[in-house]
């Protein structure tokens, strides 16, 4: 009887120890949860100058579906090179810093209309494009022009498409930002 009681006591101890909240601590929490991005700013600065064109988009519901009003601060000039910087935030934090910290898990993709070319100027530690910093070159663009900007979380950056900045099925991942910049204010009278 004493052995049976000790055996039951031992089994009960094992049962309760296995049900403790220590299990919750051993399962890592998802530290890469997707962020709600509510504010997008693309600041373009003319090469060799200080003139800027700033595009802003804001939505309390998030900017992943593309349905948002974008504000353009000044005319985009034809035949110009701009250096661009993207900043993202929400009401709680600067999301740009998280993307910089996890740049190997994020990539921006740009789909411009004719007359606009976009080049990556920042790379992750593996030499793959990120897109927080870009160069935009304009040629003979006319209004209306557009530039679609998408941020993809956990893309397959090893595909030829991702390396070339082309978003297709091979890239995969989840779209966290989708903004259409409808460029209606263009200064077409800039000489080459």
* pLDDT tens, residue by residue, 15-29: 444 544 444 443 333
Confidence at 192, pLDDT banded by 50, 70, 90: very low
Give the separation between CA 104 and CA 122, rounded to whole angstroms: 12
Average pLDDT of the residues of the chain: 84
* pLDDT tens, residue by residue, 90-148: 988 899 999 999 999 999 999 999 999 999 999 999 999 999 999 999 988 888 899 99
* The 145-153 sheet, strands edge to edge: 106-112, 145-153, 174-183
Give the separation between CA 112 and CA 138, rounded to whole angstroms: 10
Burial class (CB in 10 A: 0-12, 13-18, 19+), 102: middle
> What pLDDT score was predicted for residue 34?
64
Q: Which residue has the higher pLDDT, 33 or 97?
A: 97
Q: What is the CA radius of gyration of the chain?
A: 24
Confidence at 42, pLDDT banded by 50, 70, 90: very high
Confidence at 10, pLDDT banded by 50, 70, 90: low
Mean pLDDT of the region 160-175 = 96
Q: What share of the chain is helix, strand, coil (3-state, %, to 5)?
A: 20, 35, 45
CA dihedral for 121, 83, 109, 36, sign (positive or negative): positive
3-class DSSP state of 162? helix
């Amino acid at each position: 009887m004493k052995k049976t009681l000790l055996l039951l006591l031992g089994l009960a101890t094992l049962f309760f120890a296995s049900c403790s909240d220590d299990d919750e601590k051993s399962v890592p929490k998802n530290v890469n949860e997707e962020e709600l991005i509510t504010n997008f700013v693309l600041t373009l600065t003319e090469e060799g100058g200080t003139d800027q064109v700033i595009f802003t988009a804001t939505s309390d519901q998030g900017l992943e579906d593309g349905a948002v009003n974008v504000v353009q601060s000044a005319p985009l000039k034809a035949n110009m090179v701009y250096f661009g910087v993207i900043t993202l935030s929400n009401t709680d934090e600067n999301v740009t810093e998280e993307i910089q910290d996890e740049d190997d898990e994020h990539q921006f993709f740009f789909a411009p209309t004719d007359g606009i070319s976009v080049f990556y100027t920042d790379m992750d530690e593996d030499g793959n494009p990120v897109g927080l910093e870009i160069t935009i070159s304009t040629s003979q663009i006319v209004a209306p022009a557009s530039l679609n900007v998408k941020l993809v979380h956990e893309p397959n950056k090893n595909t030829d498409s991702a390396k070339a900045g082309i978003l297709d099925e091979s890239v995969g991942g989840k779209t966290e930002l989708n903004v259409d910049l409808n460029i209606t204010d263009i200064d077409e009278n800039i000489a080459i």
